[in-house]
Amino acid sequence: MKAAVFREVNQPMEVENIDISKPGPREVLIRTAAAGVCHSDLHFFNGTYPGIRPMVLGHESAGIVEQVGSDVHYVKPGDHVITCLSVFCGHCEHCLTGHMSLCQEPETRRGADDEPRISQGGAALQQFANLGSFAEHMLVHEHAVAKIRDDMPLDRAALIGCGVTTGVGAVIHTAKVEPGATVAVIGCGGVGLSCINGAAIAGASRVIAVDMVPSKLELARKFGATDVVNAKEGDPIEQVKALTGGGVHYSFEAIGLKVTAEQAFGMLRNGGTATVIGMIPPGHMVSLHGPDFLFEKKIQGSFMGSNRFRVDMPRFVELYLQGKLHLDDLVSSHIKLSDINDAFKQLETGEIARNVILFD
């Protein structure tokens, strides 16, 4: 099959022919239909986060099941699925207490002595996030997929695989925003826009979008933002406090920077909660004003929206089909796998929401 192979940091990827194994007892072979190009992929491509190479990047994807292993009963060939990097074992402490997104059990991956899932010339290739969706096929553990209805467009479904689940989930699962609350979201990329959409669905009374790009702020209004703040036009903390009379109940950082994490905490009202979703680079420290903790202000992280993805993703599909989840506006353009390097360059400019690779 063809795949974009990541070999060197910040060096263009080539579309190469690689080999893929047959499904093991609990594995599923998927024909990739669509894959979103996400900032998480870029963080590894540009070396912000370390990764083992060579690797096939890509993790925000949807496709159609082609083969299943002997012990797989959840899906069958022909089923439409969304993949998720929150592969779960189902029996560790995290899984049994309802925190499946935190599962790190190695049994969902093949062992060092097993034939690799993907390879080239007999040498193993890594699958980013146990998926590797910048490829024509994916071979994954059965607990890496959620089955969805066949009439859901797969290019839209792919976005649910990461950005939407991360953003909406941070609102409804991690922070548990309640109706009538006030919300600020810093960063209006794919995840931030999904946060805004999630806050609107949750019934927030004010949803304030914060960014430095006017076009993205305008787009945020389509997703449910009631107010916008351009961080270039003054201190965003003071602008949010002025709009709300003292700060928001909930803030979300969807960029991954020290300064914006600190801003998210700074724009809280007393008793408020800041949730950091963005991937802050390793080694970067976040500084907070100590006395603020006396007023019960809180800061927390969120990984993949604290999801229960086999429950959440079919529900998000229904919300899209009902017109409540605005996936159409997330798609900036459809591209080919051979356009992957240009897509990464566009991500770095911060001007787009999502490019989606189509394989058919």
Q: Do residues 134 and 344 touch, judged by C-beta distance below 8 A? A: no
Token pair of 279, please? 């991937």
CA–CA separation, 44 and 144 (whole Å): 21
Q: Do residues 152 and 317 touch, judged by C-beta distance below 8 A? A: yes
Alpha carbon 298 to its chain centroid, in Å, reads 23
User: Collapsing DSSP states into helix, strand and coil, what is residue 55?
Assistant: strand
Strands 248-253 vs 354-358: parallel, antiparallel or unpaired: unpaired
Distance set, CA 218 to CA 36, 166, 230, 326 (Å): 22, 22, 11, 14
* DSSP per-residue codes, 72-99: --S--TT-EEEE-S----SSSHHHHTT-
DSSP-derived letter for residue 121 is T
Specify the residue for token string 């010339």: 121
List the one residue out of 273, 270, 301 whose CA is nearest residue 286. Answer: 301
DSSP run (H or E) holding 157: helix 154-159
Say how many Å lie between the first and final Cα of the chain, rounded.
Answer: 14
Token pair of 185, please? 């979201």
Beta carbons within 10 angstroms of residue 54's beta carbon:
17
- Whether the bond between 12 and the residue before it is cis, its omega within 30 degrees of 0, is no
Helices (H) and strands (E) in the chain, counts: 10, 20
Catalytic residues: 38, 40, 43, 59, 162
Token pair of 327, please? 């996936």
